[in-house]
Every structure is written in C-alpha cells, then in structure tokens.
Chains A and B, each alone.
Chain A
Amino acid sequence: MSTAVCWQALSYRWPGISRPTVELTDLALPQGESLFIQGPSGSGKSTLLNLLAGVLVPSEGQLQVLEQPLSDWSGRRRDRFRADHLGYIFQQFNLLPYLSVAANVELPARLSKRRLQRTQDEHGGLNAAVEHWLRCLQLPETLWHAPVSRLSVGQQQRVAAARALIGSPELIIADEPTSALDEDNVDNFMQVLTEQCRSIQASLIFVSHDRRLAHWFDHQLTLNATAEEAE
C-alpha cells in the first residue's frame, strides 16, 4: 500500500520568527485515506499545507508527498508536481473573477498535460470532465457558464472543489474551505467533497478549526498553538 504523505520530525520556521511554526513528529497517511488537521488560528495549519503542497520546504526533517522527496527538488519541479498531482481549495475567493465557472474548472487541465490526459481517459474530453465535476458538485447547470460573481459563497466553494478534483489528482488539500459556509452548506459540502475524493481514490487533507468536522475523516491530527503563544 502506497502512502499519500509521510513525514518524520517535520519542522518549519518562518524567517524572522524565533520558534518553528510547524513542529511535528512522524506521520504516514496511506493513499486514499483522509486526514483532518485541526488547531486554533495561528497554530501553523496553513504553513503545514504549504509544506505539503511543495510551496515551502521544511527547515528540518523528512517529508515525502506521494512518495516523492519534494524537499530535494528544485522549486520548478515542485511547482510542476503540484500542477500534476495536487488539488487545492482555499478558505474562500478560490476562483479567478475574470474567468467563467467552466473556465475556472478547466484551469488545472490547461496548466497540466497529465491532468488533461486524465480528463481524456476518464471522461473522453475536457468539456465532458468539466460537466461531470460540476454535476457531481451539484452546481446548477444554468450557472456553468456564468461569471463567478453570480455565485453564492457555497456555490463558489463547490466550483473550487470541482476544480481541485478535475484530472483526478492523487491528493486534495483544503484549507478551511467550510469556514465561510453556513451550517447546512457545510454538511452538504463535506458530503460531496469526501464522496468525490473517494471516487477518484484521492487522499484528502483537510484543515479546520472546527472539530465537529472530524467525523468525516479516517485520521486526525491536532496542532496546538503553544509554540506561538509562548512568543
């Protein structure tokens, strides 16, 4: 069984800050399983996700993503890897306002040959894939070609999820994607997101300060802000 992410004694210290923002013991997440990371604001959740996405490189320790030694790679290669293998969902404002809903969902396949090929293999084409994911994420068909500004926050988050899922990347990373949603929307969003990640056997790494969401996940990890509070 392969691992989605795996780290040993991982730590990251922002320049100019005396203590490491991220300081973690070992962890290995099997491919296809999901991980819930929760912790208060400022506990380094986003920093950790930046490490996993290959935007930051650990100050110390070992980190492997999809069994690749990201930390040993050039920035250029890590960026390529992120385009090919990762889907990323932000807390909000995920979409480029100057592109239509469909064009936003298409973007990852436009920027990665590998993911374009996968839309071809799995859905028979890019348009078919876009439609598939927008349908799976329950976005009304009338909005598919609408400007992003016509969407509610909940709808925007679901388009962001569709964009993360297109081209079936192995790892989906979500940074508090539900914090801008209301109660009903949260449940619905969690439902479709976890379901669709399973459908492509992607691992989901999900960050939130809301511990009530933990039950949607196979594993959980709690970060505490002690390092930060000591400052």
Chain B
Amino acid sequence: MNWINLALRSLWNRRSTAVLTLLMVALSLALLLTVDRVRQDTRASFSNTLSGTDLIVGGRTGGLNLLLYSVFRIGNATNNISWQTYDDIRNNDAVAWTIPFSLGDSHHGYRVLGTNNDYFEHYQYGRRQNVSINEGRRLEGVYDVVLGSAVAKALDYQLGDEVVIAHGLGSTSFEMHDDKPFTVVGILAPTGTPVDRTLHIPLEGMTAIHVDWTAGVRLPGFDVSAEEALDMDLTPDTVTAVLVGMESRIQALGFQRRINQYRAEPLTAIIPGATLAELWQMIGIAENALIAISGLVVVTGLLGMVTVILAGLNERRREMAILRALGARPSHILGLLMIESGFYGIAGLVLGLLLHWALIAIAALWVQPAYGIQLTLSLPVWPMSGVLLAVVALSILIGLAPGWKAYRRSLSDGLTVTT
C-alpha cells in the first residue's frame, strides 16, 4: 500500500466530485488541443491548395481578396480581366503556361469554374501534384462538366448524369441555367483541396449559359437554345483570374510589377506564397487570441481543480489524523495532496486527448466536405507536447497549495480532530 495507491483510493471514495473535476481539466485541455490542431490543419490545407503557380492575375483588387476567391473559392471577384489582356499574358515570352479561371456560378452550393484543359495540364497542389481524372475524361464539348471528387460523392453523380447550373452563388439560387444542362464527363481523384468541391466546365460553356443574360438577369424574349448557342462565337469577353507559370521563376517578380502597371486596364498580380504569408500574419492575430483564451481556460481549469481540493480538506481532517497516527509524516500528507492534483493533471491530459480526438473526428465529418480542411488525429508534437508537459508539471506543483495547508494543519491538529 504505497502513498499513490492510498491517494487514488481516497479520491475514488470522493468520485462524484472527482469525476466532475477531472472533466473540467480534461475539457480545458481538449479545447486547447483542438484549437491548436484546427489551426495547424487549416494552415496545412491552405498551403497545400496551390503549388507551382508563380503568379495569379485578376482585376484590380486587394491581393488577399484575389487569392481567396481565385484559389480558395472564398468571397467574390469584383472586377474581371478582358479576354484581350488574357491573350497578352498568355502570349508573353516569359510566360510558360496560363490557366484561365471564370467564376460566379454554382451548383447546390458548390462553385462552378469555367476553364480549359490547360487546367488539367498545369494546375498543381500539395507537393506539385497534378489533378488527375479518376473516371471519364477531360473537357471536350461545350456542355461537358468534370466534377471534383467531393461534389460527385456528396451529390451522388455518375458519368453521364445531367447537371443544371444555378446563376450566382449560394445553394438556394432561384435562377437556373436549366435551358442548358451539362453532362458529367469526368470525375477527379480526391485532392484534399477546394478542387474537390468544384465543378469544372469549359469557358465556352460558361459563355453559352450567359448569352441570353445581361447584368445578371435573363433577357426577356431573347431565349437562345443550347443548340443555337453552339453556332455562336463562344469566346468569352472576360475571365475572372489567370494562373500564370513563368518560364523561369526569377522572372515572376518583374512580371508582377509589369502587370500591376499594365496600361490597358487596372490589374492585380500576386505571388501566391507571399500573399499566403500575408494572410497568416493577419490570421495569426486571431489565432493567437484563440490560443491565449484556450490557455486561460486551461489555467482556469487548474485553478478550479485546486479549489475543489482545498474545499475538500475540511472533511478530510479525520483522514489525515488517522494517517498521522499510523506514522505518516506531515510531508506524506503534503505528498498525498500533490499526488491527487497531479492525478487530475495526468488523467485530465489522457481524457483531454481522447475528448480532443473525438471532437476532431466529429468535426472532420462536416469541416472536410464544407471547407476542404483535412483535420488530422495525431499525438501532440513540439511545442504543444512541451506545453502539455508543463501543464502536468504545474498540476502537480499547485498541489502544494492544498498540500501546504494540510501540512500546517496536520502539525497543529496532531491526532486530535474535534470535528
């Protein structure tokens, strides 16, 4: 019967309070772990979304905004680029390849991207991986659509299915391009990026569904059928953004400057990595606030734990006197209480980890499809592991507070407890 055993049995005897106290510590740690995990995974997901692209060009707008709407499908473009400008960029000697992006429509809340087959050739994510077609083929006809894996899975689409695109964004759009349905010709392999939640159609298809529209409304009495549209010139007037790969990376900076000073129309060019870094700086403030709050919650949990132990001391005077009579030293009594608070720290950490994993597993069910962020179940790594060790050490250390009180009291009480 060592002291740890005694301390734990004593705690078991007070298990209803102990369980609540343990939960308090565990929940606070689970919160800290989860906030940190979500932060790391969000960063990883964002950094993974695009690679190999040297510049992104769009209409005059903030760099961050351009990055968000073109790559992450967050927010909307305010300005487009004319087709003429796109041609200029494409034909520049320093430019190796381009991918035109035309955005603005959606399907059941998933965004529709008008592009061409350069996309399948040059678009890269993660560690310079190309998107690959799992089933079917690339875009050929005007009314072809290639689905991201999450879209196909969530809406249960097969090759050959018809897809009607909604005008504008938002899953409850009333305006449907139902006169010109698209046919699923390909489904992409999962990438873990916003690509999975995108429907890809040809630029010509994008033009076709909008021939009888102007300024966002259908022109009355000016219906053009799907077949009639095919005979028209479907070269778009504008695109939303262009991803650019340079012949050599070092040219990117100079080319960016030239685009930003382009005379024919106001443009914005960004280097994705640099703008992402800007984003992290901004988000960093909010992240740090969240981490700080979680940290405070952990401290609050630990303080609550000591309070519970302190509050229980009165009822345990008898227990301490019995142990003293059996030869326990006052330092044993102090140790008993430190074991108790340390137990809350260690068991709280274990339970907190389990709770954290459960939270992540549940959150992943909707975060993954809705935001494309891969939440991972993993053991904490440095510096979080260091923080957790510190929390456990602290939990043992703050046992000194009730420990010292019991120590003083067992000296003055001796073997006589009147209560």
Contact = CB atoms under 8 A, between A and B. Distances in A.
Contact of B327 (A46, A80, A175): A80
A47 B413 CA distance: 10
A90 interface: yes
B384 interface: no
**Which of A83, A111, A175 has the largest count of B CB atoms less than 10 A from its CB?**
A111
Contact of A99 (B9, B331, B414): B9
Interface string A92-129: 01111111000100111011100000000000000000
Main secondary structure of the interface of B (DSSP, over half): helix
Interface in A37-93: 46-47, 49-50, 53, 55-56, 75-76, 79-80, 82-84, 86, 88, 90, 93
Size class of the contact patch on chain A:
20 to 34
Interface stretch (B87-95, B149-157, B315-323): B315-323
B285 interface: no
B326 A175 contact: no
B415 A112 contact: no
Given A47-B416, A49-B415, A55-B414, A98 B325 contact: no
Given A76-B329, A83-B327, A56 B414 contact: yes
A107 B3 CA distance: 11
A112 B327 contact: yes
A83 B326 contact: yes
Given A47-B416, A98-B13, A111-B328, A106 B1 contact: yes
Nearest to B12: A98
B318 A93 contact: yes
B330 interface: yes
A175 B1 CA distance: 26
Residue of B10, B318, B326, B414 with most partner-chain A CB within 10 A: B326
B409 interface: no
Contacts of A88: 325-326, 415
Given A55-B324, A96-B319, A98-B13, A75 B416 contact: no
Interface in B364-419: 414-416
Contacts of A90: 321-322, 325, 415
A76 to B, nearest CB: 6
Given A90-B415, A96-B319, A98-B12, A53 B325 contact: yes
Contacts of B321: 90
A88 B321 CA distance: 11
B329 A75 contact: yes
A106 B5 CA distance: 14
Contacts of B6: 96
Contacts of A49: 415
B329 A79 contact: yes
A146 to B, nearest CB: 15
A118 to B, nearest CB: 14
B13 A55 contact: no
B322 A97 contact: no
Nearest to B419: A93
B326 A108 contact: yes
B2 to A, nearest CB: 8
B414 A111 contact: no
A17 B319 CA distance: 27
A174 B106 CA distance: 86
Contact of A97 (B13, B330, B416): B13
B1 A103 contact: yes
Interface in B311-350: 318-319, 321-322, 324-331
A71 to B, nearest CB: 15
A175 B328 contact: no
A93 B419 CA distance: 11
Given A106-B1, A107-B1, A96 B10 contact: yes
B269 to A, nearest CB: 72
B327 A55 contact: no
B326 A75 contact: no
Given A80-B327, A111-B326, 4 more contacts: A75-B329, A79-B328, A96-B10, A96-B322
